[in-house]
A and B are shown apart, each in its own frame.
Chain A
């Protein structure tokens, strides 16, 4: 079963605009990760935020985590056509390598 639920399911914006995607999850977590998947390709890790962190930045990416609301957001600033992809949040629960639980993803389309 999939724990994370991304919102929106699909997002279409103009190049240069910011894109915000949200993720909600159900159980307590050790960390939350965001991945990108281009069509027909494998997943690429973007950023990891631990349960005791509230915000993290990496280049044009900004991730927030609110453990009280069991939610996270991924912000991509100054979007580019190459950012067109599906974005998944994934959570790690439990004490070890139980495997990440992925959401259904947000399909982001950047219009040039």
Chain B
């Protein structure tokens, strides 16, 4: 596609529900990142994929967070048993190579947990 596409743009979940956020990166981009952005803050790194391999998941805040990219293109960020503190914008970004230069971001998925 022309850019990084994320869905849904907005998600409201009741506390305890599971949610899945999808990222469709730019075709051919090897690297894919997930970031979490709280209101009024900068993005915070969650996890990084190089093709289908998850090379770094050090930023995932708890074991309720799980990300996958099984075929090296589309990625899904899953949050189990959502909590109110999970409310944030989840940003996906991709990069063509493996040594980070310019990242291309999607519009984000805004998650609100009630």
Docked pose: A104 CA to B41 CA in angstroms:
5
Q: Is B105 a contact partner of A31 (Cβ separation < 8 A)?
A: no
Q: Are A33 and B102 closer than 8 Å at their CB atoms?
A: yes
- Most chain A CB neighbours (cut-off 10 Å) among B48, B95, B105, B110: B105
A88 to B45 Cα, complex, angstroms: 14
A2: CB under 8 A from chain B?
Answer: yes
Q: How many chain-B residues does the 8 Å CB contact rule pick out?
A: 31
Task: Name the one of B35, B44, B50, B107 contacting A97, with C-beta atoms under 8 angstroms.
Answer: B50
Q: Specify which of B40, B56, B106, B107 is in contact with A99 (CB 8 Å cutoff).
A: B56
Residues of B within 8 A of A99 (CB): 33, 35, 45, 48, 56, 59, 100
Place the interface of chain A in its size category.
20 to 34
Is A44 engaged at the interface, CB distance under 8 Å to the other chain?
yes
Q: Which residues of A contact B106 (CB under 8 A)?
A: 42
Across the interface, do B31 and A97 meet the contact criterion of CB distance under 8 Å? yes
Closest residue of chain A to B48 (Cβ to Cβ) is A99
Specify which of A31, A35, A98 is in contact with B56 (CB 8 Å cutoff).
A98
Contact A101 B45 (CB under 8 A): yes
Q: Footprint of B on A, CB under 8 Å?
A: 1-2, 4, 31, 33, 35, 40-45, 48, 88, 92, 96-105
